[in-house]
Amino acid sequence: MELRLAQGTPCWVSLLTDDLPGARAFYGALLGWTYSPGPGQLGAYVRAELDGAPVAGLGVSTATGFPVQWTTYFAVDDADRTTQLVRQCGGTVAVGPLQAENAGRMAIASDVSGAVFGLWQGEEHLGRESGTQPGGPAWAELLTPDADGAAVFYAAVLDRPVRPTAGESALLVQGRPVAGIRHHADLRGHPPRWRTHFAVRDAALTARQAVALGGRVLVEPHGTVRGTAARLADPQGGHFSVLEVAE
């Protein structure tokens, strides 16, 4: 039996969009995803797969005016207890905890600055850790004007240390960085947010493909401490990043 990912590990990413067929077509062509049905009580929700293994979720937003966005989920041992900690530490719980059939138990919350994130207590569905497989999640990074406050919040809620690294702070699980927290004073009208990165072989080529599929390039490919990255938007307006990984 597979073990649940260690608490604090980014274990899933999920997109809420107002055009699920369009999102399925875009990401399928861009990242090589195929799809299978997700838990029925989540509405029109599918799991994206690579080589038969789930990598992400896509669903329909039921809230009028809710922005199209990707949400990063963190593995937790007890979703109910962790949501209590979110409230105690000054965050807000928007959804749950609720049971997603036999897949697991989930909640959606926001931190002290309003950045949205998810909690996942895996059961039959344990999620997927970030890695280097093209098309899969590669890295999670929080952009916030209050990096110090965010570090304190996530360390307390997830019971994992946050330590300074090159240019940012990193959430550590079993001594290794699993997510970044970056100070960003000017978010250009956007709220603080967790940024989802997907692994690709060639960031520049992927950016061109995204445009050909109806998406946009928000930030051209550029060097980062983790490699060449580009910031993109899907045709429905969902922002995401791609991170170039070695062969």
Averaged pLDDT score across all residues of the chain:
91
Contact residues for 41 (Cβ-Cβ < 8 A; gap 6+):
100, 101
The three-state secondary structure class of 157 is helix
- Contact present, 115 and 196 (Cβ < 8 Å): no
pLDDT at residue 1, rounded to an integer: 46
- Contact present, 142 and 194 (Cβ < 8 Å): yes
Q: For residue 173, give Cα distances in angstroms to 5, 92, 161.
A: 10, 24, 8
Tell me the chain's radius of gyration from C-alpha atoms.
17
Query: What whole-number distance in Å separates Cα of residue 140 and Cα of residue 178?
Result: 8
Closest by CA to 123, choosing from 53, 39, 16, 35, is 39
Sole residue written with tokens 């990043």: 241
Q: What is the pLDDT along the chain (247 residues), one digit of tens a residue?
A: 457 799 999 999 999 998 999 999 999 999 999 999 887 665 688 999 999 999 999 998 766 556 778 999 999 999 999 999 999 999 999 988 999 888 899 999 999 999 999 999 998 888 898 999 999 999 999 999 999 999 999 999 999 999 987 678 999 999 999 999 998 766 666 789 999 999 999 999 999 999 999 999 999 999 998 899 999 999 999 999 999 998 6
For residues 175-208, one letter each, b for 16 or more C-beta atoms within 10 angstroms of the residue's C-beta and e for the rest, the string is: eebbbbbebbeeeeeeebbbbbbbbbeebeebbe
pLDDT at residue 47, rounded to an integer: 94
- Pull the structure tokens for residue 79: 């979703």
pLDDT at residue 62, rounded to an integer: 67
- Which contiguous run of DSSP H or E holds residue 46? strand 45-50
